[in-house]
Amino acid sequence: MERQDAALPGDRRFFERNGPFSLRALAECAGARVEGGDEADDAPRYVGIAPLQSAGPQEVSFLDNRRYAPLLEQTRAGVVILAPAFVDRLPKGTVGLVCSTPYLAWARVAGLFHPVPAAIPGIHPTAIVGAGADIDPSAQIGPFVTIGAGAQVGAGSRIDAYALIGDGVRIGAHCRIGSHASVSHALLGDRVTLLSGARIGQEGFGFAVGPDGFETVPQLGRVVLEDGVEVGANSTIDRGSSQDTVIGAGSRLDNLVQIGHNARLGRCCIVVSQAGISGSTELGDFVTIAAQAGLIGHIRVGTKARIGAQCGVMSDVEAGADVIGSPAMPFREFFRNVAVLRRLAKKATQNGGGET
């Protein structure tokens, strides 16, 4: 196949490209100080972004990690976004955009060159729209989309192919609903993004034991995704049983994440891929849950707590705590246990006892 990194980043087959932009425009976008250049320069000199090692004089790059500082000294990039600590390693002829948060500045400059495509207003002729649905004229409804009766879609929102929006569902403004997603029994705020195959609002895992097996307990709650929530591909969020399942504003869920019925996440929580949160568990704000971690039901996790990868959380976690392991324990204790067990096991085997 063709060389894999050809035309990267921003392969024109896949990504829109704006520009060129001037140093002044870049500095304003980055909120950065100009080092080694004229911050008033309005000439549109810069055409795109590139990594340090491949960037040319018309391209913008960035340095965020000390490990890559040697690449900075070799770069031919026209502009590099970087932290003050690295300014003195800028090569001749490369302008620095200096700021305390270079990664954030990079995100904004990259978005300047490669904006998220805006919604193209209109409803595809193959889409099916139910009675009384209220779709803003500026929204984009893709091919084979189904919008239920009485559903609402806000201004500038984009609903991709094969998405199913159930009866009565409310979708706010500037949302992106990915292809093949299903949304039912749900209220979405503004700027909510669902990636492809996300499942929002299906019935939760609720049943009672009857004489002839399990009997379903009606799941009569909803899902509420507050403003700015993002949900990854093929993730699943069950609706509440009698209350709501709530994802707080600005929270981000990765792919293949499971959220059980009645769970409540605070603002700006992060849930990494393949993690699961069981029913009725509540998270404060800014909680981070790493990949493949699991939380049992009916517990509370305090604000800014951090749950490590593959952690098994069986009880409440205090605000600000750092836990890992299954069952969960403080990071320090977990790694101490690992070290001690290794030592004890070595000793035991030296004594020939390891295999008993």
Pattern 33-52, binding to a second copy, x per CB under 8 A? ----------------x-x-
Measured CA to CA, the distance from residue 102 to residue 104 in angstroms comes to 5
Active-site residue, from 114, 174, 261, 298: 261
| Contact flag: residue 266 with a second copy (CB under 8 A) | no
Name 317's bridge partners. 301
- Report the nearest approach of a second copy to the CB of residue 188 (Å): 9
Count residues binding a second copy (CB under 8 A): 125
| Contact flag: residue 250 with a second copy (CB under 8 A) | yes
Measured CA to CA, the distance from residue 264 to residue 278 in angstroms comes to 10
Which of 37, 156, 240, 266 is in the footprint of a second copy by CB under 8 A? 240
Residues 6+ apart with CB under 8 A from 114: 9, 10, 15, 16, 17, 18, 49
Q: Write out the binding residues for a second copy, residues 161-180 only, by CB under 8 A.
A: 161-162, 164, 166-168, 178-180
Q: Identify whether 261 is a catalytic site residue.
A: yes
Pattern 124-163, binding to a second copy, x per CB under 8 A? --x-x--------------xx-x---x---------xxx-
- Report the nearest approach of a second copy to the CB of residue 333 (Å): 7
Measured CA to CA, the distance from residue 351 to residue 356 in angstroms comes to 11
- Burial of 71: CB neighbours in 10 Å, binned 0-12, 13-18, 19+: middle
Measured CA to CA, the distance from residue 188 to residue 192 in angstroms comes to 7
- Report the nearest approach of a second copy to the CB of residue 95 (Å): 20
Q: Are strands 186-188 and 222-225 parallel, antiparallel or unpaired?
A: parallel
Q: Write out the binding residues for a second copy, residues 65-94 only, by CB under 8 A.
A: none
Which of 231, 268, 289, 317 is in the footprint of a second copy by CB under 8 A? 268
Q: Write out the binding residues for a second copy, residues 269-328 only, by CB under 8 A.
A: 270, 272-274, 276, 278, 291-292, 294, 296, 309-310, 312, 314, 326-327
Order of all β-strands in the sheet with 199-200? 128-129, 146-147, 164-165, 182-183, 199-200, 236-237, 258-259, 276-277, 294-295, 312-313
- Report the nearest approach of a second copy to the CB of residue 205 (Å): 5
- Report the nearest approach of a second copy to the CB of residue 40 (Å): 26
| Contact flag: residue 254 with a second copy (CB under 8 A) | yes
Which of 88, 131, 137, 218 is in the footprint of a second copy by CB under 8 A? 218
| Contact flag: residue 106 with a second copy (CB under 8 A) | yes
Contact present, 181 and 217 (Cβ < 8 Å)? no
3-state helix, strand, coil in the chain (%, to 5): 15, 25, 60
The phi-psi region of residue 150 (left if phi > 0; otherwise alpha if psi is between -120 and 50; otherwise beta) is left
Q: Write out the binding residues for a second copy, residues 189-208 only, by CB under 8 A.
A: 189, 195-197, 199, 202-203, 205, 207-208
Measured CA to CA, the distance from residue 32 to residue 62 in angstroms comes to 12
Active site residues: 261
